[in-house]
Amino acid sequence: MRYRTLFSLWISVAALMFVAVSGNAQNAQVSKLKQARTHTQSVSRDATFTCTYGFTTGSGATYLYYCLSVNGTFEYFQSPVGVEMLSPGGYNDGYEGYGICDFSNDNQYYDYNYGDSGNWGSPSTVTNTASEVKIERTTSDGLWTLTQTVTKEAGPPPYAKVVMALKNNSGITKDAYLIRYAEMIPDSGTTTAENYDGSLDSAWGYNSYSDASSNGADVYGMILQNVESPTPSSDVLFWEGYAQDVITGPPPCNPAEYYDGTLTNVSGSAELLYFVELAKEKTVTVTMKYSGF
């Protein structure tokens, strides 16, 4: 069941439970998420900016090009033609990736391409075709396997469909956060003109017309959006999008640490968070997309 506007997450050492609330559901959830334990991110040599799997479709307004690393992180995302959303100016420095927080042992696993948690096994490319790549990766402790399938979809508008299947390999039921994150930089010109926000289903960054027109920025944006019900839906207690006031990825066990409401004229980023509950040896699948707007 999806808990949308009526419930907020309470996190305690002893238990997890939902209670009815009034007012802004996102702010209520964030206030509880911020009580989670703070973690320090580390950097591992396993993280990479190297572009390995590239995909292209369309032309002009329906053009889409993106490229992924062997780890399944996006390195470039251009749509429409000439508008780079992750690495403007051709620099291979766009920050994007994924994370997991395991509530049972307080472990966190992430790969944000500029650095990772150092507790992943080597990635395995399951399939690679002209339209799709499927990458599987298991944590070094063997407790979780994340399988990502990224498919190009022609427009209008074109988009990259991202399917993330998370398997609990352990012998017990586990609660976890599953996160997708991106530093969206829609060719922001000579000065910062970026804006960020989130909703129940999406998180995005964009250049507003009034700010971008004064400094040569492209008036475009990029959105990360949940597009299908999770499978099985009963294993995902909620999902939500957040804006961050930093360019780096969120600590998976404290995903709202850098949440600061609607952001204007800042360097920021965005994340889509899923709260899952998985029985032993069970898999949950979530589906989202990246697209320009």
What is the signed CA dihedral for 32, 254, 113, 145, rounded to 10 degrees?
-90
Q: What is the pLDDT along the chain (293 residues), one digit of tens a residue?
A: 333 332 233 333 233 333 233 334 444 444 444 344 333 444 455 789 899 999 999 999 999 999 999 999 999 999 999 889 998 766 666 799 999 999 999 999 999 999 999 999 999 999 999 999 999 999 999 999 999 999 999 989 999 999 999 999 999 999 999 999 999 877 655 456 789 999 999 999 998 877 656 566 678 899 999 999 999 999 999 999 999 999 999 999 999 999 989 999 888 999 999 999 999 999 999 999 999 99
Alpha helix (H) residue ranges in the chain: 25-33, 209-212
3-state secondary structure of 90: helix
3-state secondary structure of 249: coil
Q: What share of the chain is helix, strand, coil (3-state, %, to 5)?
A: 10, 45, 45
Q: How far is CA 196 from CA 133, 219, 274, in A?
A: 29, 14, 19
40 vs 52: CA distance, rounded Å = 29
What is the arrangement of strands in the sheet containing 132-138, beginning at the earlier edge strand?
A: 124-128, 132-138, 144-153, 159-168, 283-292, 221-226, 202-207, 194-198, 263-264
Helices (H) and strands (E) in the chain, counts: 2, 19
Q: Is 118 left (phi over 0), alpha (psi -120 to 50) or beta?
A: left
* CB-side neighbour CA atoms (13 Å) of 288: 27
Domains of the chain: 25-292 (2.70.98)
Query: 267: which 2 tokens?
Result: 């360097």
pTM: 0.85
275 vs 9: CA distance, rounded Å = 10
Write the burial class of residue 116 (CB in 10 Å: 0-12 exposed, 13-18 middle, 19+ buried).
buried
